[in-house]
Chains A and B, each alone.
Chain A
């Protein structure tokens, strides 16, 4: 718990211009393979102070004493002149908020993640017709308590819990091999079938004999591929200055609505501003942006509760927290697939998505299945689509209703997405 003495000390040294953050987290990790089993328990504590003394300064420590030692060192560093932003007032402090210690059984702070290696391995094998094997599965279950205090009297305490993981599979056909990783986050029951399907396709489709046999057609994006693309585009919603290609706010086709709403994850952002839903792209038009306290001040507005802290070691910065395509006007994925006369269904990426927002360029390398008259015809080992982001977004003609969330590392939700008139390489 943050004590009052520390707050008084900060107010004395940096009157009206400080913010204190503390995070404690307990997690338990299980990494399994056919031959090994690794378990890890982690209890992490971190403290951070951000203050404005001439300019912005930031100090962190793994405990209160080290935080106290870091503050004067950060105070000696040069900083660009900048006034403190207006801090959120009020607060959300639920009862409890401490991760219980178990003096008799120090392993009991967090329950072990489920051991699902064997059933997932079975599913990967089935879905790949024996061509892929699950190599490792790492699951991490954890919970965290975050506390934020500031000079304006803001008081927030938040608890969160999470089950996420990464699985790795190896596809093999003759002398050729291919490895695929899949990251996932389970908010409810473990979705083994979804993870197995992605691993099986990602590890075996690149082993196909050839790439695309046609150079132009429709491009159907699997939710995981669409989510990666949305993650690569997400900085567009936070930049201070929009790139030149974003003209009059129209950036995508009318089928596209994108929002950010992390209400289900946390009541406040990393600066203590209450979480709210923000529609960023509405019917293809860019209608708002994501702000933390500092960027909101520069823009002359209010924070949208998007001050994110990837860790206590990093000062808050504007960023998406739970970004997703709206799917209320979507169609079923089967209907979407059935309507493709000729195209490629991108099932997995074979390289990270490349995006240059300033230059309006993107490039996606993927593996998938060729579609003819709404039916799968043959695997496509590797294909590439590149061009202008502005064209890509305006050629999205439909989204499906099968939205799924992926950790990138914050949750990104995407359904199957159809893009028309795409050139394949």
Chain B
């Protein structure tokens, strides 16, 4: 994207006359490849190359956003013209021009396609997967500060496969989301191997309450729902409102939102307002610490760098990125013994939270009953449910020492905007959650 940033900043100047006003241009190019795989054979394949530009103005409680498909100066001009006209400022002349060519980095798609086929055939031969690979480049020109460019390359494999179990064939869901890196292939191979492992016949757990051990980094999904969302600066009234600095959980628990972790799916070098992000402690030694802010909701320290957009057609919102739970000192065996009787969960399929009431729900595809500190029956699919404050206060003061990345956590939707998120966590026990079979 070759843009004369200083010229764009001059165009934006009249739109941000006051202190605290925001005027910016956001430009994105995105190259996305999707291949559907079925039983080792590629099915439908598609490639999408898109560019879009938006201009945004925010003054007090009023915000205006203009989006135009395309790239380059002509598209930026069109977007800025809309804002100027709506703000009753003098309007730039329109200068239509063909879209400039993209300078796309060399693609690794073909290499991935060659690697994936034998990997899927070997580990999960009967499957229906969708593999997607995205190259995203974003450029932000904010009035009043310097322009920035950031790039991300994201890899996702989602779908289901048929696995053997002691009760015969069964369909299992699988999802893996990671930023592209040298280790991604090995990590995927390990995840597929673990997912395809033989399992026992499942039995229902029975509706009621149970103590739950969140294993396999699934605690990252729990805290993403009940802490990260609740501490987004525009969340409105939630059970955590008016509890600043209050101790709401055990001192052993520390949860952070860390976009600087580029090894996790939700990481980035710059947020979608051009701010360099910083790690935010959500829960510090069990105390409620800070919230996630964008420029519009910034406190005295300024934006925490959590202004995120699904794409150029959307305005930025304060959103979580990577939910990171600090390690404790307990081993897995100690945690199982501490759980005593309860439910051990290693996978979570999806999660939702209603912030006003604080109720959350996590869907798990399977689990394991624990009796007297030992693994017992395999449990079939069900839901975990609870409320934010009771769940946080019911965290056991014994946290696992081994931290793992949660690769099943990938895309988070809020108000129709879907952004990549990730996390990592050790094993965590939460007492007295509602459990329901599906």
Nearest-CB residue, chain A, relative to B238: A177
Interface string of B88-123 (1 = CB under 8 A from A): 000100100011011000010110010001000000
Task: Assess the B69–A62 pair: CB atoms within 8 A.
Answer: yes
A61 to B68, CA, bound (A): 14
Using a CB-CB cutoff of 8 Å, which residues 25-75 of chain A contact chain B? Answer: 35-46, 55-63, 65-67, 69-70, 73-74
Q: Check A66/B64 contact, CB under 8 A, given A44-B69, A177-B356.
A: no
Residues of B within 8 A of A70 (CB): 31, 47-49
Residues of A within 8 A of B52 (CB): 44, 62
A42 to B438, CA, bound (A): 42
Q: Check A354/B99 contact, CB under 8 A, given A78-B113, A107-B82, A179-B356.
A: no
Residues of A within 8 A of B (CB): 35-46, 55-63, 65-67, 69-70, 73-74, 76-80, 103-107, 135, 170, 176-179, 206, 313, 315, 351, 354, 363
B51 CB, min distance to chain A CBs, angstroms: 5
Task: Assess the B44–A41 pair: CB atoms within 8 A.
Answer: no
Interface string of B27-45 (1 = CB under 8 A from A): 0000101010010011111
Task: Assess the A63–B69 pair: CB atoms within 8 A.
Answer: yes
Residues of B within 8 A of A (CB): 31, 33, 35, 38, 41-52, 61-70, 78, 81-82, 85-86, 91, 94, 98-99, 101-102, 107, 109-110, 113, 117, 236-237, 313, 315, 352, 354-357, 361, 438
Q: Check A39/B49 contact, CB under 8 A, given A63-B70, A170-B356, A176-B357.
A: no
A-B contact pairs, 27 of them (CB 8 A): A39-B65, A44-B67, A44-B69, A55-B43, A55-B45, A57-B45, A59-B48, A60-B47, A60-B48, A62-B50, A62-B51, A62-B52, A62-B70, A74-B45, A77-B33, A77-B47, A78-B45, A78-B117, A79-B45, A80-B41, A80-B43, A103-B94, A106-B78, A106-B82, A106-B91, A176-B357, A351-B352
A149 CB, min distance to chain B CBs, angstroms: 19
Task: Assess the A78–B47 pair: CB atoms within 8 A.
Answer: no
A59 to B237, CA, bound (A): 44
A125 CB, min distance to chain B CBs, angstroms: 17
Q: Check A77/B82 contact, CB under 8 A, given A65-B101, A66-B50.
A: no
Nearest-CB residue, chain B, relative to A102: B85
A37 to B60, CA, bound (A): 10
Nearest-CB residue, chain B, relative to A67: B49
Task: Assess the A73–B69 pair: CB atoms within 8 A.
Answer: no
B237 CB, min distance to chain A CBs, angstroms: 7
A80 to B45, CA, bound (A): 9
A178 to B354, CA, bound (A): 8
Task: Assess the A60–B46 pair: CB atoms within 8 A.
Answer: yes
Task: Assess the B110–A76 pair: CB atoms within 8 A.
Answer: yes
A50 CB, min distance to chain B CBs, angstroms: 9
A259 CB, min distance to chain B CBs, angstroms: 29
Which residue of A59, A178, A351 is within 8 Å of B46 (Cβ)?
A59
Q: Check A77/B109 contact, CB under 8 A, given A56-B44, A60-B48, A177-B356.
A: yes
Nearest-CB residue, chain B, relative to A294: B44
Task: Assess the A177–B48 pair: CB atoms within 8 A.
Answer: no
A283 to B270, CA, bound (A): 58
Which residue of A36, A44, A79 is within 8 Å of B44 (Cβ)?
A79
B385 CB, min distance to chain A CBs, angstroms: 10
Task: Assess the A40–B46 pair: CB atoms within 8 A.
Answer: no
Residues of A within 8 A of B355 (CB): 179
Task: Assess the B42–A80 pair: CB atoms within 8 A.
Answer: yes
Nearest-CB residue, chain A, relative to B62: A37
Residues of A within 8 A of B69 (CB): 43-46, 62-63
Task: Assess the A39–B64 pair: CB atoms within 8 A.
Answer: yes
A221 to B261, CA, bound (A): 48
Residues of A within 8 A of B35 (CB): 77-78
Residues of B within 8 A of A179 (CB): 354-357
Most buried by B among A57, A60, A103, A106: A106
Q: Check A77/B86 contact, CB under 8 A, given A38-B63, A41-B65, A43-B67.
A: no
